């Protein structure tokens, strides 16, 4: 392999599993609380939206909001509305992505996709509902209790940019059209940066801004987010190709890359792993100055990289202590 991942010093004591499970539980509680405002008697639309959020995946995006915010001193309570908004948007994008009009996937995280359970019309509306609810949550009393209106509005503006034509939606559309033609690695990175990267970047930026991070800190955490987002997608693509996950199942990015424009399918597994390793190093570099308080973000990045670097028999990632 030739891939050697350097030890992450100082992480020996950090228990990522505990960190993640505590935050996953907190995010789940908050999401459930927001949905509870709408009666279950709303019928299938409520059930379809709930099904789009529960059971969740690893809640990586909302946890990035929390971790980036905590890095700069924000309280979890102030961060949670933004964390939930980001996860609702992720949920909406998966539901719409799985529809027959796009990926036509029957399975998501090993369970039937939303439209398989509730029908295409209801799944479409459930996605619309989650996207709308994300902006409702961000602009509500919970967010305003801790964050000034000017900043909340700035974050609404930033998130809507990240998930609109210039980001998530544009990336999906580009991907849809790219399927028809030949693609090079520039196109693949362009799609990834928008389709997966934009929301990851927005997640860390939202957290940091809620915490009042300085401009320089925000730039560093933005670069961290950009590298992590691309690493995330490349790792998924490698795992898909290596058969670690079957198409439609458990891809962490949520976007099945089977038979599509992917990094490893264009440059091969080895070069994709080198690129992933390089991105991981850049992630660590951006966090170098922050000491122990950045361990959660380091460990998350390491976990993302480790999944796809250890999957060909050679245990390159044993060196990563997480």
Work out whether 125 is an interface residue with a second copy (CB under 8 A).
Answer: yes
- CA nearest to 175, candidates 200, 160, 198, 195: 195
Whichever of 142 and 286 has its CB closer to a second copy, that residue is 142
Q: For 194, which DSSP code?
A: I
- CA nearest to 33, candidates 95, 101, 87, 105: 87
Cα separation values, 61 from 7, 69, 258, Å? 25, 12, 23
Residues 6+ apart with CB under 8 A from 81: 30, 137, 138, 140, 142, 143
Positions 27 through 66 that interact with a second copy (CB under 8 A): 38, 42-46, 49
Work out whether 212 is an interface residue with a second copy (CB under 8 A).
Answer: no
Q: Which residue has the tokens 């490698």?
A: 238
Work out whether 139 is an interface residue with a second copy (CB under 8 A).
Answer: yes
Please work out the total of residues on this chain that contact a second copy, with binding judged by CB under 8 A. Answer: 53
Whichever of 31 and 316 has its CB closer to a second copy, that residue is 31
Select the residue interacting with a second copy from 32, 145, 176, 288 (CB under 8 A): 176
User: Which residues face 111 on adjacent strands?
Assistant: 108
Work out whether 290 is an interface residue with a second copy (CB under 8 A).
Answer: no
Select the residue interacting with a second copy from 165, 242, 246, 288 (CB under 8 A): 165
Write out the H or E segment, with its range, that includes residue 25: helix 16-36
Structure tokens at 144: 């305003």
Nearest approach, Cβ of residue 280 and a second copy (Å): 31
Work out whether 102 is an interface residue with a second copy (CB under 8 A).
Answer: yes
- CA nearest to 301, candidates 84, 13, 23, 68: 68
Whichever of 1 and 169 has its CB closer to a second copy, that residue is 169
Whichever of 13 and 150 has its CB closer to a second copy, that residue is 150
CA atoms within 13 A on the CB side of 141: 1
Select the residue interacting with a second copy from 21, 132, 214, 278 (CB under 8 A): 132
User: Which residues face 108 on adjacent strands?
Assistant: 111
List contacts with a second copy (CB under 8 A): 38, 42-46, 49, 92, 96, 99-102, 115, 119-125, 127-129, 131-133, 135-136, 139-140, 144, 148-150, 152-154, 156-157, 160-161, 163-166, 169-170, 172-174, 176-177
């Amino acid at each position: 392999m030739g891939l050697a991942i350097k030890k992450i010093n100082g992480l020996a004591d950090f228990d990522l599993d505990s960190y993640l499970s505590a935050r996953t539980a907190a995010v789940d509680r908050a999401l459930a609380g927001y949905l509870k405002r709408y009666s279950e008697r709303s019928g299938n639309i409520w059930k379809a939206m709930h099904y789009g959020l529960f059971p969740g995946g690893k809640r990586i995006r909302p946890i990035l909001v929390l971790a980036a915010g905590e890095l700069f001193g924000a309280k979890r309570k102030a961060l949670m509305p933004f964390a939930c908004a980001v996860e609702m948007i992720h949920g909406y994008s998966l539901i719409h992505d799985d529809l027959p009009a796009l990926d036509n996937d029957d399975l998501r995280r090993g369970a039937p996709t939303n439209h398989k359970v509730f029908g295409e019309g209801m799944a479409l509306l459930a996605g619309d509902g989650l996207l709308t609810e994300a902006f409702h949550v961000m602009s509500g009393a919970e967010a305003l209790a801790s964050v000034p209106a000017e900043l909340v509005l700035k974050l609404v503006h930033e998130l809507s940019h990240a998930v609109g034509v210039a980001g998530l939606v544009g990336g999906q559309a580009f991907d849809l059209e790219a399927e028809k033609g030949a693609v090079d690695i520039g196109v693949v990175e362009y799609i990834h940066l928008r389709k997966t990267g934009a929301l990851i970047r927005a997640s860390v930026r939202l957290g940091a801004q809620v915490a009042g991070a300085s401009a320089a800190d925000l730039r560093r955490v933005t670069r961290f987010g950009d590298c992590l987002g691309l690493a995330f997608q490349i790792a998924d693509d490698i795992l898909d190709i290596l058969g670690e996950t079957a198409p439609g199942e458990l891809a962490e990015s949520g976007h099945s890359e089977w038979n599509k424009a992917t990094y490893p399918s264009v440059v091969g597994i080895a070069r994709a792993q080198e690129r992933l390793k390089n991105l991981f190093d850049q992630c660590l570099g951006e966090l170098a100055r922050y000491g122990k308080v950045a361990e959660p973000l380091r460990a998350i990045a390491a976990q993302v990289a480790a999944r796809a670097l250890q999957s060909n028999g050679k245990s390159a990632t044993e060196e990563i202590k997480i």
